[in-house]
Structure 1
């Protein structure tokens, strides 16, 4: 621990000699550093130019500026600075005034140096604890501000809604369990006019997951826009992630491309919950063939390419397990069956309202239980051939 620095304010020269003599071993050993002032004005001047003073030990009766006036001025120098006052044994009125003005403790004359040592140690511990708490608070506030910035940045990289077309409607939603999350969704128009759809979930929570998410999202979009099919895209992204992944984080993902002219859907999945298909009449089923190993674990991994043709007014619903694994206070999961029933009961809604209904059902189901995982979902309604 660094040396304790004490400012002694007393107009009696003999008191400086007594202090330096009594604490000489601690001074030589670098445990204590003393500064001396003859009155309150000299003390304030010294405090203004000497940083790091832990404690003020001040007499009350002094010329120019007495100790009681000095006590009123100390918060102007450092609100965390504390003082111990020295006064005559019978001078309780001044001692009481000093305590009311913020003195931490007092000692009486003639000074018992054993008692003074105990009092000074206790006062210094109090000051350092208060300063440590203040530093911790400032660090927490700074961290919260950084997280708020990270949250705004994460939301900013989510895609802007695509305008509805005669052939389709598409909307997405994400709600992180913490300030930042590891889920993401993305959609974009490919060079050949097809629509690319991505949903993914990074292992873990918080800042590390958010950073890995940002890397994954960038890689996946970059590879997808090169024009490769969904299976090749996941295979390439997996190899890139696995090549430099010392923390062994992984990503579940589903990538699909839709030809809006024909309703042809090509897709590949990497350990992600199978998307759901809902027909116009409300029947809900899983998109078939959604298997594959998570991204980032095995460098050389192939992913099968699947195909499905969407019927007019069919809805493709992609989601992360934060939806189905929402937990109520009794420990029950929201589950796939409840999700399918929720979709069916709201089948006539547009995509934006459908997402809102699903999220509302999951949140209501969880009730007072805290959100355990990020909630992300993506809804595509295919209307008919056309772009």
Structure 2
């Protein structure tokens, strides 16, 4: 404590030596300084370019008194010609006001001279004989003119007129050049920011629409399958995602005939996330559901989808998928994995260790047109629950970087009854606890398939 106080006193003594001989000037008599300070503060408050423009114009009148202020456009006009956009006196009386496209084209005269050769100071004016503006500006005897940067209001020049014959100095012109261009740039940046916000809003709206369409391709409700109970959780990283799942009956033979009794259990994940992944997911959905013949097994269907995705040139995207054909009569699940994570099969009757359906199947879809896919088979028993999931689940990380992993799924099932909805709830609960409130880095989908005693 004593050391800090000694350091404080030493600094005060040093500061006092530096302050010796300083003289503070009295600026309280300058009425323009508080007005200009208010202008700079108001620039941060305005969100509308037009409002900022009006604030600037009003401040000029207040700060500089009995003067006339004009703004003109020269875009697309020959030298010496102009359109008068705005002209008003210090008391706010409008002498002219036009849009950038609507004002008449004028030429020559005092304004034409003021904008002909760069920034200017002109004293001893006699405007009475100016054909265009003589009547309106007859009482003004000097002017300064400054060119401003391109802006959304089409203003190319700012001109200030004074009733005194020598009303301006070089310093006045310097201030006008600086102030006019700074405000013009701010107005332009504000307009650009507003346009960008509107564009982002349109993009956000389109992405949300894509997301709604993409979610409409998922099952509205899970079907009733003899001997199975189903539950699912689907959460996207963005408004649109690349995860998908489906449970649908396989068509009979010939086309249009009754279902052949088997059911397709599908889960997949398009690389990346967002609208691009959602589009590829929609392509997969269309190809999968238009398979032209009664499928013999899941491998031939995935090979078909793979060829079509490769033909569509989906750039650097690819799709991982697990497709199983389940026969309720025999409880046999024939499945194929195309680069997808192995499902977890847990026996809740005997509380045995989870088993992973990790038989190799083939590469992710959309990479090599002639890739080969192989099948495996598992016979499911009552009391077992099959967990399908995407990599967004197992890759989810704690703040310290530790992933949830397949072990996180298996651990979440320890305290579960084995019912499908219970399994989903436990996995999602454990996943959220693992992430500690962090936003997921990918889409997360879980599908639970419970095998019951029912035939």
Task: Pick the TM interval, shorter chain.
Answer: 0.7 to 0.9
CA distance in 2, matches of 1:383, 1:328: 35
User: Per the alignment, in what secondary structure is the counterpart of residue 368 of structure 2?
Assistant: coil
User: Per the alignment, in what secondary structure is the counterpart of residue 99 of structure 2?
Assistant: helix
CA distance in 2, matches of 1:179, 1:85: 51
Q: Which has the higher contact order (CA 8 A, sep 6+)?
A: 1
1:372 partnered with 2:444: no
Deviates more, 1:205-214 or 1:118-127: 118-127
1:35 partnered with 2:84: yes
User: What residue in structure 1 maps to residue 140 of structure 2?
Assistant: none
List gaps (5 residues or longer) in structure 2.
1-52, 59-67, 104-134, 137-151, 252-259
CA distance in 1, matches of 2:71, 2:194: 31
CA distance in 1, matches of 2:153, 2:201: 19
Contact 2:225 2:328 in 1 (8 A): no
Deviation at 1:157, TM superposition (A): 1.4
Deviation at 1:336, TM superposition (A): 1.4
CA distance in 2, matches of 1:170, 1:179: 25
CA distance in 2, matches of 1:162, 1:380: 11
Specify whether residues 143 and 25 from structure 1 end up closer, same or farther in structure 2 by C-alpha distance, changes over 3 A only: closer
User: Per the alignment, in what secondary structure is the counterpart of residue 329 of structure 2?
Assistant: coil
- Number of aligned positions between the proteins: 329
1:381 partnered with 2:453: no
CA distance in 1, matches of 2:83, 2:174: 17
User: What residue in structure 1 maps to residue 409 of structure 2?
Assistant: 339
Deviation at 1:228, TM superposition (A): 3.8
The one of 336, 346, 363 aligned to 1:268: 336
CA distance in 1, matches of 2:422, 2:391: 20
User: What residue in structure 1 maps to residue 266 of structure 2?
Assistant: 198
User: What residue in structure 1 maps to residue 201 of structure 2?
Assistant: 141
Deviation at 1:300, TM superposition (A): 0.4
User: Per the alignment, in what secondary structure is the counterpart of residue 320 of structure 2?
Assistant: strand
Deviates more, 1:187-196 or 1:215-224: 215-224
User: What residue in structure 1 maps to residue 247 of structure 2?
Assistant: 187
The one of 353, 356, 359 aligned to 2:422: 353
**Which is higher, the Rg of structure 1 or of structure 2?**
2
User: Per the alignment, in what secondary structure is the counterpart of residue 268 of structure 2?
Assistant: strand
User: Per the alignment, in what secondary structure is the counterpart of residue 414 of structure 2?
Assistant: helix
Deviation at 1:200, TM superposition (A): 0.6
Deviation at 1:109, TM superposition (A): 4.8
Deviation at 1:116, TM superposition (A): 3.1
Structure 1 length-normalised TM:
0.74
1:323 partnered with 2:393: yes
CA distance in 2, matches of 1:27, 1:116: 24
User: What residue in structure 2 maps to residue 50 of structure 1?
Assistant: 102
Note the aligned Cα RMSD (angstroms). Answer: 3.8
Contact 2:418 2:450 in 1 (8 A): no
Deviation at 1:358, TM superposition (A): 0.5
After TM superposition, list the pairs within 5 Å mapping 1:1-387 onto structure 2: 28=78, 34-36=83-85, 43-44=96-97, 46-47=98-99, 50=102, 109-110=167-168, 112-191=172-251, 192-223=260-291, 226-245=294-313, 247-281=315-349, 282-283=351-352, 284-346=354-416, 348-384=417-453, 386=455
Deviation at 1:356, TM superposition (A): 2.0
Contact 1:166 1:384 in 2 (8 A): no
1:332-363 Cα distance to aligned partner (Å, 9 max, x none): 011112211212321x1531232122111111
Specify whether residues 233 and 166 from structure 1 end up closer, same or farther in structure 2 by C-alpha distance, changes over 3 A only: closer
Specify whether residues 165 and 293 from structure 1 end up closer, same or farther in structure 2 by C-alpha distance, changes over 3 A only: closer
Deviation at 1:153, TM superposition (A): 1.7
Deviation at 1:34, TM superposition (A): 3.8
User: Per the alignment, in what secondary structure is the counterpart of residue 265 of structure 2?
Assistant: strand
Structure 2 length-normalised TM:
0.64
Specify whether residues 290 and 89 from structure 1 end up closer, same or farther in structure 2 by C-alpha distance, changes over 3 A only: farther
CA distance in 1, matches of 2:307, 2:229: 33
Deviation at 1:301, TM superposition (A): 1.4
Contact 1:263 1:385 in 2 (8 A): no
Contact 2:339 2:361 in 1 (8 A): yes
User: Per the alignment, in what secondary structure is the counterpart of residue 345 of structure 1?
Assistant: coil
